[in-house]
Amino acid sequence: MLNSNELINLIKEYNPKCDEGLIARAYDYGKNYHEGQFRASGEKYFNHPIEVAKILIGQRLDDTTIATAILHDTIEDTKLSIKEVKSNFGDSIAILVDGVTKLTNLQISSGETKQAENFRKFIVSMSKDLRILLVKLADRLHNMRTIKALPVSKQLRKANETMEIFAPLAGRMGMQSIREEFEDICFRVLNPEARNSIMRRFLKLKNVNVDLVPKIIKDIQKELSLVSVDAIVSGREKRPYSIWRKLEEKKESFTRLSDIFAFRIITNSEGDAYTALGAVHQRWRAVPGRFKDYISQPKSNGYRSLHTTVLGRDGKRVEVQIRTKEMNEVAEGGVAAHWSFRDGELFENPFAVDPLSWARSLTDGFEAAENPNDFLEHVKLEMYNDKVFCFTPTGEVIKLPRGATPLDFAYSIHTRIGDHCVGTEVDGKRVPLYTRLRNGQSVKIITARGQRPQINWENMVLTGRAKSAIRRSLKHERRVENIRLGNAIARNAFEKVNKKPTERALVTAAKKIGSKTADDILAALGAAELTGIELMKLIYPEMFKGENLPEYSSDVISFVGLPAGAKGKTAKCCKPLPGERIVGISRKGKGVLIHAIDCQQLIDFEEKNENWLDLRWPEKFGTEGYSSSVIVTLLNKAGVLGKICSLIGEQKANITDIKFFEERADYYIIYIELDVRNIEHLMNILSAITADEDVAEASRHRGSKQVFSSVTPTNSES
């Protein structure tokens, strides 16, 4: 373990003016408070914060960040208080140490919903000062370097979390070397057989291509000298996980991969970078589709470089990256380059991205997201996906994840444009909204004021921003429909108990189920989360005690043809209605059960003729409705359900229940229970529904709500 003087000397190599007193004081505090603590490997615990500090020294970071690294575990693991840190080291270091402690305490690898909420807190917290995340990444990197000391179960959990969260975060920040080390360590833990296989094939390839890297470096240097470009040329071998990922993505043989060996040309100016590119392409044939210009179109983390792949010695593919010294510092350190020192001064790299802008690109519009899972989905997409760059008709560049569609493009400009999108033109041609965009395309969005997001849009988009906006709009549209439908159900329920519907009564019911407003209770009714009778029980519980229970259906009737004094009860399996032929089945001690003449349950009584009674409906059926139900297949678009409910209302029928049984991108099937006067009334309702252009099918349904059973449910009353 380094002592304080050795640590200070490492800092002074890039920052001769470093605050030696601050670093020495932090060292002494950390060593004192961690005294007697040991890691799982058996080494002294204080070695860990010193190694974390060394990683950040390698990024040439400022004294405040280095001191934070030394103290980052003191609040969590020792008796040192944040108040004492603030008193001895100032507000800045205290805030950073406290921030790292809070990130450490968030259990990101918990259940999915909790993970999403914690990850949102993680991103929002670290976005206040990205140095918090820099220390946390260095902390995780050293923990991963020493992961073998942990039990296998903990190794797997830590590796999964690192691969899913910390590695892509490091990559998104532009810290590629840290990302690659994360991935390779995790690869070794999670898939050791695959890694060993890659290593064996790689060593075999190296033996065949002895001195390949030095020879290619020499070839490149020769070409650069011919065009008078002074540059540093280097070559390196890719890490095993990077090679394995390319094999999985490209489905190519190991020997055909172009980036097992990567070469880098570091020039003094941007002009020299393009001159070097020309020299490389003039000397070797470029591989089509493998050139990327991140200088003219930099990545969101500030990364700038020219990438090309050429056919080098013996026709082997060679990947070459070309950039300036300043670009290389950003490529190596990413966002950390904002705090990088050079010769004792904070170096203002012109290509370093503003940390606040970078953090805002992740959190913009999602800090107040209703659903934490939307936020997690958005940030993961932001971290994992490569970018495509498309243009608005005015030439503005829009960055999107690879695989994004014109709908993503529309929502990235403004939510209102996305919501009102009716079509798109890509490079002047009309294309479907689900078209996958490619680099350099020009996209024009066509809008219409009356347009609203459709339910199948969610499957067309890729970005979290678009998904969240579409879900929010659909939820609002559905709520409006549910409130309208709930109004009709509530009005019918109040009429049943001879009460007048009032907002105060609805608010009273809402409070009893944990809601707040009358609209909440109406929305619950419309969504079939609550029935009319359940609403009445919430408002008038006294009416539902004993004999006070109101009759909600006329299922006990004096039918013509019944024995003297007998009453008939309509069967639930077929729900017969006045006006259709009926038959009674006599049951010992249970009265007479009335079936429609075509009821399937009558098959069970074919051999029991003595039980059959020829019955007719009485001439006067009374004023109350009879329960019946229909099945309707609707087109899945805004306003259709409300329109169907209005049609039923126009036919003077009351809806008592609605259930959704199947919901697809283009249609859904609903079960509607309603009160009707007779069979003629029901047929009129079905005619009105079927005539609507947005209805695919409508039919009477007999029996229970289990509408997809091909066999009529057994009649429990028989």
The first and second tokens of residue 419, run together, are 């919501």
Three-state secondary structure readout of 562-624? CCCCCCEEECCCCCCCCCCCEEEEEECCCEEEEEECCCHHHHHHCCCHHHEEEEECCCCCCCC
Cβ-based neighbour number of residue 469 at 10 Å:
24
Is residue 554 within 8 A of residue 576, CB to CB? The reply is no
Looking at the annotation, which residues are catalytic? 76-77
Residue matched to tokens 């001690």: 589
Helix extents (H) in 306-391: 325-333, 355-363, 372-384
**Nearest C-alpha neighbor of 454 from the set 268, 638, 325:** 638
Angle value at C-alpha 494, between 489 and 497, nearest 5 degrees: 130
Task: Identify the burial level of 174 via C-beta atoms within 10 angstroms of its C-beta, where 0-12 means exposed, 13-18 middle and 19 or more buried.
Answer: buried
- Region of 708 please: left (phi>0), alpha (psi -120 to 50) or beta: alpha
| Cα–Cα dist 353/392, whole Å | 23
Please, which residues have CB within 8 angstroms of residue 410's CB and are 6 or more apart in sequence?
A: 417, 418, 421, 424, 445, 466
Q: What is the length of the chain?
A: 718
The first and second tokens of residue 576, run together, are 């017969």
| Cα–Cα dist 499/502, whole Å | 9
Identify each DSSP E strand in 352-501 by its residue range: 387-391, 397-401, 421-426, 429-431, 443-447
| Cα–Cα dist 24/703, whole Å | 82
The first and second tokens of residue 510, run together, are 């809402």
